[in-house]
């Protein structure tokens, strides 16, 4: 059976002429070892934010910045095309197609300004433009390098429901479309280059899989094609022990288990979209994180199970931080033994479409505490006060309140479940560095421990916990380049 590889290139990997040149070299080198290659591309770095900011401004009736946005989009794409596509006919065709999407953005923003609002469906149409411009540019650049390639928009491949901005794929329908559309190209030694992040309803309406969803797109396509590997090309050497902006000594993890990366992705590590894990695990596909700007680095490979166990340094693999959270607390003596309080509380939170990353409850049942993103705090507080208005009036609930901004610090390591005393050493380390812990949560999987600290203690806590990882794990890590 011929080997199939799906490679996804992130926004920084396709964000400039220099970056695109590196992508061409990677594709050229990879072709020597893989018979069948599919490429998934993100929008150029910064483009999706620019598009959505334009839509948000238009919804407020402001179109003043639109000409500058047009100019920026043309400059980013046109400069790269002019440098990398010397074939005049191919370059003109590519620029004309990209320009059409820029005109489409202007038209959509004007319509949004007239309506005074941008619906989720319209926002998906706006957000999709970045990938649709990028796939045309990358395909033309690849063709110009003498490589057989064909553009395929993911609207032709990934079938989703109509939950705009965070659509859910229909995996069976998607697999049928992917195989029917891509296998003939792969059989003819043509590299399909497709958009990430985008899908379509059965009726053909454009949807998106959520921000960062290009990783997910690559995994879905890999599952459908029964690929051997999915490689995610980004701008770092793989999954690191922590954020190198906080700890410059952070090192690359050569291997990470699926359980570990799922926790890391959920709790703030930006290297991989959290939903990417499911398709590759279900299909038994290899997954690797690579650096476009340092392609010789081995990166991080995801594995099913880790052989690492035995001591604290090897049990803890990485530490992450999610900033700009608020702790929301519901407390009252009247809650004791009353069934359904938690269900009603989280029903109220769900009504605001807010995700809860951490929950903790006192054993006395007199308080429930959970974290929410800061930007959702005001509407969540209002929803809770409305849901428990009667209990507050009867003084069964004394208080519903929230903190100022806090951060969730999470230590991750599948080896933690085999080693007694890990939690004690974690909290001793934080105490030693005088980082105050406001709340604690540990999942039943025992792969992670999460703690809430003040915004001011975030970097201190990360550095303190990273010391535990580095103390005895150095032989299992790859120095960062």
Provide the pLDDT for residue 366. Answer: 79
Nearest residue to 387 (alpha-carbon basis) of 351, 337, 439: 351
R_g over Cα of the chain: 24
What are the pLDDT tens digits along the chain (481 aa)? 679 999 999 999 999 999 999 999 999 999 999 999 999 999 999 999 999 999 999 999 999 999 999 999 999 999 999 999 999 999 999 999 999 999 999 999 999 999 999 999 999 999 999 999 999 999 999 999 999 999 999 999 999 999 999 999 999 999 999 999 999 999 999 999 999 999 999 999 999 998 878 999 999 999 999 999 999 999 989 998 998 889 999 999 999 888 888 788 777 666 777 788 889 888 889 999 999 999 999 999 988 765 544 445 567 889 999 999 999 999 887 777 667 788 899 999 999 989 898 998 765 557 889 999 999 999 999 999 999 998 888 888 888 999 999 999 999 988 777 677 888 889 999 999 999 999 998 765 678 899 999 999 999 999 999 998 887 555 555 555 5
Cβ neighbour number for residue 360 with a 10 Å cutoff: 18
Provide the pLDDT for residue 337. Answer: 65
Contacts 24+ apart (CB under 8 A), 172-176: 173/202, 174/199, 174/220, 174/224, 175/223, 175/224
Domains of the chain, earliest start first: 4-235 (3.40.1160.10), 306-481 (3.30.2130.10)
Provide the pLDDT for residue 309. Answer: 47
| Cα distance from N-terminal residue to C-terminal residue, the chain | 36
Phi, psi at 53, each rounded to 5°:
-65, -40
306 vs 415: CA distance, rounded Å: 8
CB 186 within 8 A of CB 178: no
SS3 of residue 184 by DSSP: helix
* Alpha-carbon distances of 447 from 94, 370, 371, 444, rounded to whole Å: 48, 20, 20, 8
In 10-74, where do the E strands start and end? 36-41
Provide the pLDDT for residue 297. Answer: 94
Provide the pLDDT for residue 480. Answer: 56
């Amino acid at each position: 059976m011929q080997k199939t590889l799906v490679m996804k290139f992130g926004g920084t990997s396709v964000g400039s002429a220099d970056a695109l040149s590196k992508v061409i070299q990677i594709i050229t080198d990879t072709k020597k070892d893989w018979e069948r290659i599919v490429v998934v591309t993100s929008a150029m770095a910064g483009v999706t934010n620019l598009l959505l900011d334009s839509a948000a401004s238009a919804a407020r009736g402001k179109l003043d910045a639109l000409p500058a946005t047009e100019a920026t989009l043309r400059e980013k794409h046109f400069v790269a095309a002019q440098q990398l596509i010397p074939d005049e006919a191919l370059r003109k065709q590519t620029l004309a197609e990209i320009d059409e999407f820029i005109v489409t953005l202007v038209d959509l923003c004007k319509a949004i300004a007239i309506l005074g609002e941008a619906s989720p469906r319209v926002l998906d149409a706006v957000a999709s433009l970045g990938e649709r411009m990028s796939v045309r540019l990358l395909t033309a650049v690849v063709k110009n390098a003498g490589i057989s390639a064909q553009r395929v928009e993911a609207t032709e491949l990934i079938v989703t429901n109509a939950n705009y901005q965070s659509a859910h794929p229909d995996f069976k329908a998607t697999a049928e479309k992917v195989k029917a559309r891509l296998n003939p190209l792969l059989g003819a030694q043509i590299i399909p280059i497709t958009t990430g992040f985008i899908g379509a309803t059965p009726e053909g309406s454009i949807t998106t899989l959520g921000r960062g969803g290009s990783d997910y797109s690559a995994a879905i396509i890999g599952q459908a094609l029964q690929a051997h590997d999915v490689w995610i090309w980004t701008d770092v050497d793989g999954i690191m022990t922590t954020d190198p902006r906080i700890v410059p000594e952070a090192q690359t993890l050569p291997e990470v288990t699926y359980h570990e990366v799922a926790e890391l992705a959920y709790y703030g590590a930006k290297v991989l979209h959290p939903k990417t894990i499911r398709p590759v695990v279900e299909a038994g596909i290899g997954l690797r994180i690579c650096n476009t700007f340092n392609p010789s680095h081995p990166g991080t490979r995801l594995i099913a199970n880790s052989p690492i166990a035995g001591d604290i340094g090897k049990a803890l693999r990485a530490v992450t931080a999610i900033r700009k959270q608020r702790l929301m607390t519901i407390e009252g003596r009247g809650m004791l033994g009353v069934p359904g309080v938690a269900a009603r509380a989280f029903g109220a939170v769900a009504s605001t479409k807010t995700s809860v990353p951490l929950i903790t409850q006192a054993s006395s049942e007199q308080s429930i505490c959970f974290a929410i993103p800061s930007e959702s705090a005001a509407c969540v507080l209002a929803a809770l006060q409305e849901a428990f208005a009667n209990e507050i009036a009867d003084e069964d609930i004394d208080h519903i309140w929230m903190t100022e901004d806090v951060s969730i610090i999470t230590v991750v390591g599948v080896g933690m479940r085999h080693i007694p005393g890990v939690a004690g050493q974690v909290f001793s380390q934080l105490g030693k560095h005088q980082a105050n812990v406001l709340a604690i949560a540990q999942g039943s999987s025992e792969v992670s421990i999460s703690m809430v600290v003040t915004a001011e203690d975030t970097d201190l806590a990360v550095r303190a916990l990273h010391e535990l990882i580095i103390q005895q794990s150095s032989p299992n890590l790859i120095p960062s380049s």
